[in-house]
Amino acid sequence: MPGTSDSSIGPTAHLQALRRHFHSGATRPYAARRGALKALKRAIQRHGEALLAAMHADMRKPRFEAYMADIGLVHAEIDHALASLRDWMRPEGVPTPLALWPANSSIHPRPLGVVLIIAPWNYPVALALAPLVGAIAAGNCAVVKPSEDAPHTAAVLENIIAEAFCREHVAVVQGAGAEVVPPMLGDFRFDHVFFTGSPAVGRRVLAMAAPQLVPVTLELGGKSPAIVDRSANVDLAAKRIAWSKFFNAGQTCIATDHALVHADVLDAFIAAMAKHTTAFFGEDPQRSPHFARLVNDKHFQRVARYLAEGRALFGGQVDAGERYIAPTLLTDVPLNGKVMHEEVFGPVLPVVPWKEPEEVLAVVARNPTPLALYVFSRNRTVQRRFTEHIAFGGGCINHCLLHFGNPQLPFSGVGTSGMGRYHGKRSFEVFSHLQGMVSASRLLPDPGVQYPPYSTGKEKVMRWVMG
């Protein structure tokens, strides 16, 4: 039966209880996994209003955005897993080479054991529970570490998990990550660690997991550009880029970090950005109920410093008391400035003009690998040129953000923007060991070629079979 989470969970008795529960086999049957996913969905539904209120308390997140990108996304992941779980669990038959006959080969997904999920603050529900859906579907026990920077949401998540799962199946650990994660990773060997957050913290998590050879999935960030070609529908591009940039006040790992706009359409793009931003949030976005706030003073001060690195064509207003920074379009930014080298993660959009595609490639190459790429162009040759010559995790043509919402698509970084992938079946696979098995026949006699003593004739047969 569901129990209470343990905010003081550490590398002691409770973690060992999770291990014992996993070894009991209770989490492995199809019915158990399906029942756990349904229980999680019911608990989220019961606490839905509390989650919306908590996210608003943590960062003034608008209800619509909180449901769409946090709660609704988790519902979609659960529904997809429930519809697909039996197929995911089924062994997959694969061809067997002639050299191994008579036998058949198959791949069996096995649960890993006890996994650790470390979530960030910007989408505190989705980025804690979407990986958990995969871990539960795969038959694991789990520890979830919500972000201490979204404390109201973290408290509701603890209640949801306590209601949905017994404490030996899924546990919650609360507190500052720097204080609670190192002891756990130092004294208890998790079977997988799933971390979403900044590259700097991701490196530390990877280093902490390395001594015990714990595999790690890292979903990090990076400077994700939107490239606007002169063939694009500029008005539509500006509308969609403004939406992606100012959604959650820019605190989105796959938000448009900066816009690289062809010089021929720069003026039209700037005018369209101003028009659509006003349509979204009014003449005074600070009064809009549809615009979030920076999560804490540290992040507010970091983003506010970027305003001095360019010229604000619109926006630029700040209010430290509310941790408010207006939706801002910044031009005349130096390519060697911090705003063009650090992930902005706020409602400030640097805009850089270009004339030749090589200029775009050079700007992107100055920074670590982007997590996302958005190309706005009617020209398929232009689309292919940028998507084939830039390494990036995932993205969209003529839109932004949408790829994250499709559970059929793998979501991942590449290079410095992350390692490993999840969503849908990939979440199931990241928390599974895909075990290869060969089942040899007991009814047909062995051909005998592989057994000593060897001979020239056996070698000829072996070479013919193996090529």
Q: Which is the catalytic residue, given 219, 396, 400, 429?
A: 219
Residue 281 lies in a domain: yes
Say yes or no to pLDDT of 3 above 80: no
Looking at residue 90, what is its pLDDT?
98
Say yes or no to pLDDT of 9 above 60: no
pLDDT tens by residue, 283-299 = 999 999 999 999 999 99
Structural domain that includes position 347: 225-409
Statement to judge: residues 67 and 188 lie in one domain = yes
Give the closest residue to 292 by CA, choosing from 259, 252, 349: 252
Q: Following DSSP, what letter does each residue of 96-153 receive, concatenated?
A: --GGG-SEEEEEEEEE-SEEEEE--SSSTTHHHHHHHHHHHHTT-EEEEE--TTSHHH
Residue 5 lies in a domain: no
pLDDT tens by residue, 162-221 = 999 999 999 999 999 999 999 999 889 999 999 999 999 999 999 999 999 999 999 999
Report the range out of 165-169, 442-446, 453-457 with the highest average pLDDT: 165-169
Looking at residue 11, what is its pLDDT?
53
Residue 137 lies in a domain: yes
Statement to judge: residues 131 and 255 lie in one domain = no
Exposed e or buried b per residue across 414-423, where buried means at least 16 C-beta atoms within 10 angstroms of its C-beta = bebbbbbbbb
Residue 82 lies in a domain: yes
Instruction: Choose the weakest-confidence range: 52-61, 92-101, 256-265.
Output: 92-101
Answer for the pair 140, 114: CB distance below 8 angstroms, yes or no: yes
Say yes or no to pLDDT of 71 above 50: yes
Looking at residue 7, what is its pLDDT?
46
pTM of this prediction? Answer: 0.94
Residues written for the chain? 467
Domain count, the chain: 2
Looking at residue 297, what is its pLDDT?
97
Say yes or no to pLDDT of 257 above 70: yes
Looking at residue 462, what is its pLDDT?
86
Residue 461 lies in a domain: no
What's the whole-number mean pLDDT along residues 222-251? 97
Instruction: Choose the weakest-confidence range: 41-45, 156-160, 279-283, 438-442.
Output: 438-442
Residue 453 lies in a domain: no
d(CA 126, CA 133): 10
What's the whole-number mean pLDDT along residues 84-110? 95
Beta-carbon contacts of 251 under 8 Å, excluding residues fewer than 6 positions away, are: 59, 122, 292, 294, 295, 299, 345, 346
Residue 171 lies in a domain: yes
Q: Which is the catalytic residue, given 253, 343, 400, 429?
A: 253
Statement to judge: residues 285 and 399 lie in one domain = yes
What's the whole-number mean pLDDT along residues 223-231? 97
pLDDT above 90 covers a percentage of the chain that reads 90
158: domain CATH number?
3.40.605.10
Beta-carbon contacts of 33 under 8 Å, excluding residues fewer than 6 positions away, are: 27, 85, 89, 136, 137, 138, 139
| pLDDT averaged over every residue in the chain | 95
Check if 459 is active-site: no
User: Which tokens is 101 given?
Assistant: 């006959």
What's the whole-number mean pLDDT along residues 253-274? 98
Statement to judge: residues 164 and 238 lie in one domain = no
Looking at residue 10, what is its pLDDT?
53
Q: Predicted confidence band at 5 (pLDDT cuts at 50, 70, 90)?
A: very low
What's the whole-number mean pLDDT along residues 305-334? 97
Statement to judge: residues 259 and 286 lie in one domain = yes
Check if 219 is active-site: yes
Say yes or no to pLDDT of 1 above 80: no
Residue 97 lies in a domain: yes
Say yes or no to pLDDT of 256 above 80: yes
What's the whole-number mean pLDDT along residues 398-427? 96
pLDDT above 70 covers a percentage of the chain that reads 97
Looking at residue 222, what is its pLDDT?
87
